[in-house]
Structure 1
């Protein structure tokens, strides 16, 4: 472990530590957006679902371009554009006074995330030795959840569900994060640059064809869309349900507790679950995680007390960890090195699940009514389970690929 830690580049540490502060800022503001729009702006559940969904919708179509562009012009330029663009977006959130302005700001929020996330993951893969990549990606995932532990509690204290001034705090945090990246890239100016001497680089159409033509990758991607669909209901449908349900008197406070509990459980179970999952073929833990997530959604619809909701969050979080801890390593394993950014960008299409989650949940809540919570969450859980067949086919496909690879290596040695 210590040897691997010493191999982590200082720029990687900047991204990991910056992720803690960045996710703290996001988690003290964005998860409360649904509640703020309903409570302070008078938005309907359907309108709220559309505003929340647009961020992920933009991400679906922008993430591939962001990852591909980082392959072409370099990681550094894309990271700078995204992170300082985020500063302007949070300032816009702070001064928004119309629902349509929140819609535009959240669309731009999705654009920044869709370019920053695949590019930062591709950069981590670029500068990290192969034997340390699992550690680095899991440190990044842990950093996300440390931020998610702190953020909602801070958001509750500053009244994020009633005031949009919290977005100014997020803007300052991201400005500081951006300045730290500028300093680190100045120290290590050779990193994050566009590669040179590659006259045969694929066009964006060629890169899209290369990634979409990888059958194993596409099966994983489709399966992950359903996993993310289930995961996306936590910040959207569950938040609206807890705000609207007459059986839950302190929905905002309880929801902030559940967000923090989710992150605490991630930090507690991540390491043992990663060690356990490492014993199995990569797709199997994702299948198990999908089943845990779908089951937790069904249980959420039966819950109206804080202890029961907390048990549901624990089940949900185990599913989350099983699904997300290995995906970055899995994509890096599938990707061709010269198209790493494009593969990470293409994988952003799993955010289609995040688009569908608030839309599906919002329209079900409005159409069936919050009194039908058991039916609504049962339907959401069943929709999540639809990812299992695709993930199982991906598992079978990966076994065949690895078997063929082993046979080729054996033939090369014998010859």
Structure 2
């Protein structure tokens, strides 16, 4: 194992460690933004929801072209430009004093994230041998969750729910990350892939191909509802806890819930993957949707921290089922010559994370934060609305694979 770790490329280690510290500082600031906007700036839950949604909307808008940009102008340029722009965005958060400024800055935050992160993952793939890719991507995923374990607790101590000062720390960390990348690129830049002459992906053509796929289309729609449910954790739930008079310190409770979420991911990820790897590929997504939907009901009925924590564990199991299995499902469904298009198009399920904070904000405004079930019961129903589409995808995929296997069976029988 030690020998394997030593063989990991230095640039890969830079990205893995940088990802850990990057997630640490973003999780000690960004998740508290909705609480800050509601409590300090006096924004309504609906206004806060729209502001939070701007980041996801910007990300969905550019995600289809993110990998293409780095293929054309090179990973190095894209990563360095986006990371220093991202640092500037965090400075913008720190000095913002009006809601419209937060809306603008959070839109830029989504753009920077949707350019930098896919490009960094593409670079990891470029510089890592096939035999080590599983290890390297698991290390990155572990780094993400290690950062999120400690970030919210540090953010709580720094008063992230009442101040934008922690965003300056995030900016400093990303500047340092960028400087380390410059040094690493200067040493190892010759090993990076050359620019691609690939043509720009055609959105209309991609939607036409995937839209005609009777298995992929219900997967896309079904997972959009899954992402919608997932998006309530960091937006609707944060506002609900901050405004609900039954919770003396909602911001503190939310920080503990964020940390528990990350710890639970680290604990359950491998056992869940091992348990479900032999199941039909849509089944884990169905179970994941059910867990996230059920967690919404738990959050809405909770009157204390223990039940909230149980809801977090249930939510996290659903999260792991959804997001660790989705890539494997798309790889199995996609036509070999269109795999890149399928992986690019599935990113449009991110529209769920755009809708989530807006829908949650409207419900909190309408019912008031003291009516938990009235808020979270509709959220559970809208999440569960993805189940019919997922069941349809499972049935169609089973029929497709059975039909594909039938000629092979006939040929074997004829040979006998």
Normalising by the residue count of structure 2, what TM-score does the alignment of the two structures yield?
0.89
**Comparing 63-72 with 81-90, which one deviates more in the overlay?**
63-72
Contact residue 114 and residue 348 of structure 1 kept, 8 A? no
Shift of residue 62, structure 1, vs aligned partner: 1.4
Q: Describe how 1:357-368 pairs up with structure 2 within 5 A.
A: 357-368=356-367
User: How has the CA–CA distance of structure 1 residues 184 and 402 changed in structure 2, closer, same or farther, with 3 Å as cutoff?
Assistant: farther
Looking at structure 2, the residues matched to 287 and 176 of structure 1 have their Cα atoms a distance apart, in angstroms, of 41
2:393 is the alignment partner of 1:394: yes
User: How has the CA–CA distance of structure 1 residues 334 and 192 changed in structure 2, closer, same or farther, with 3 Å as cutoff?
Assistant: farther
Shift of residue 404, structure 1, vs aligned partner: 5.8
SS at match of 2:280: coil
In structure 2, the residue matched to 1:110 is 110
Looking at structure 2, the residues matched to 193 and 411 of structure 1 have their Cα atoms a distance apart, in angstroms, of 47
Shift of residue 25, structure 1, vs aligned partner: 1.2
2:63 is the alignment partner of 1:58: no
User: How has the CA–CA distance of structure 1 residues 242 and 132 changed in structure 2, closer, same or farther, with 3 Å as cutoff?
Assistant: same
Shift of residue 70, structure 1, vs aligned partner: 3.0
In structure 2, the residue matched to 1:120 is 120
Q: Describe how 1:131-150 pairs up with structure 2 within 5 A.
A: 132-150=132-150
User: How has the CA–CA distance of structure 1 residues 201 and 256 changed in structure 2, closer, same or farther, with 3 Å as cutoff?
Assistant: closer
SS at match of 2:301: coil
In structure 2, the residue matched to 1:300 is 299
Shift of residue 152, structure 1, vs aligned partner: 0.3
Looking at structure 2, the residues matched to 393 and 227 of structure 1 have their Cα atoms a distance apart, in angstroms, of 15
In structure 2, the residue matched to 1:315 is 314
User: How has the CA–CA distance of structure 1 residues 7 and 286 changed in structure 2, closer, same or farther, with 3 Å as cutoff?
Assistant: farther
Looking at structure 2, the residues matched to 343 and 80 of structure 1 have their Cα atoms a distance apart, in angstroms, of 28
Shift of residue 213, structure 1, vs aligned partner: 4.9
2:63 is the alignment partner of 1:46: no
User: How has the CA–CA distance of structure 1 residues 334 and 19 changed in structure 2, closer, same or farther, with 3 Å as cutoff?
Assistant: farther
In structure 2, the residue matched to 1:80 is 80
User: How has the CA–CA distance of structure 1 residues 217 and 143 changed in structure 2, closer, same or farther, with 3 Å as cutoff?
Assistant: farther
In structure 2, the residue matched to 1:225 is 224
User: How has the CA–CA distance of structure 1 residues 127 and 282 changed in structure 2, closer, same or farther, with 3 Å as cutoff?
Assistant: farther
In structure 2, the residue matched to 1:244 is 243
Q: Could you list the per-position Cα deviations for residues 256-282 of structure 1 after superposition, in whole angstroms to 9, with x for gaps in the alignment?
A: 111111111111111111111212122
Contact residue 225 and residue 385 of structure 2 kept, 8 A? yes
Number of corresponding residues: 413
User: How has the CA–CA distance of structure 1 residues 194 and 332 changed in structure 2, closer, same or farther, with 3 Å as cutoff?
Assistant: farther
Shift of residue 191, structure 1, vs aligned partner: 2.2
Contact residue 68 and residue 200 of structure 2 kept, 8 A? no
Q: Describe how 1:7-406 pairs up with structure 2 within 5 A.
A: 8-130=8-130, 132-186=132-186, 187-196=188-197, 203=202, 205-207=204-206, 209-331=208-330, 343-403=342-402
Looking at structure 1, the residues matched to 373 and 331 of structure 2 have their Cα atoms a distance apart, in angstroms, of 39
**Comparing 272-281 with 131-140, which one deviates more in the overlay?**
131-140
**Comparing 278-287 with 143-152, which one deviates more in the overlay?**
278-287
Structure 1: where are the runs of 5+ without partners?
none
Looking at structure 1, the residues matched to 54 and 194 of structure 2 have their Cα atoms a distance apart, in angstroms, of 31
User: How has the CA–CA distance of structure 1 residues 205 and 306 changed in structure 2, closer, same or farther, with 3 Å as cutoff?
Assistant: same
Contact residue 127 and residue 191 of structure 2 kept, 8 A? no
Q: Could you list the per-position Cα deviations for residues 299-347 of structure 1 after superposition, in whole angstroms to 9, with x for gaps in the alignment?
A: 1100020111111111111111111123344445556788766544433
Contact residue 125 and residue 133 of structure 1 kept, 8 A? yes
SS at match of 2:178: helix
Contact residue 62 and residue 111 of structure 1 kept, 8 A? yes
Contact residue 121 and residue 344 of structure 1 kept, 8 A? no
User: How has the CA–CA distance of structure 1 residues 191 and 104 changed in structure 2, closer, same or farther, with 3 Å as cutoff?
Assistant: same
Looking at structure 1, the residues matched to 268 and 284 of structure 2 have their Cα atoms a distance apart, in angstroms, of 14
User: How has the CA–CA distance of structure 1 residues 93 and 250 changed in structure 2, closer, same or farther, with 3 Å as cutoff?
Assistant: same
User: How has the CA–CA distance of structure 1 residues 409 and 68 changed in structure 2, closer, same or farther, with 3 Å as cutoff?
Assistant: farther
Contact residue 51 and residue 106 of structure 1 kept, 8 A? yes
Shift of residue 65, structure 1, vs aligned partner: 2.0
Shift of residue 204, structure 1, vs aligned partner: 5.2
**Comparing 85-94 with 4-13, which one deviates more in the overlay?**
4-13
SS at match of 1:326: helix
Q: Could you list the per-position Cα deviations for residues 351-407 of structure 1 after superposition, in whole angstroms to 9, with x for gaps in the alignment?
A: 211111110110001011223211211110111111122223333344455456656
Q: Could you list the per-position Cα deviations for residues 123-156 of structure 1 after superposition, in whole angstroms to 9, with x for gaps in the alignment?
A: 4444445565444433322221111111101101
CA root-mean-square deviation: 2.9
**Comparing 60-69 with 96-105, which one deviates more in the overlay?**
60-69
Looking at structure 2, the residues matched to 194 and 278 of structure 1 have their Cα atoms a distance apart, in angstroms, of 36
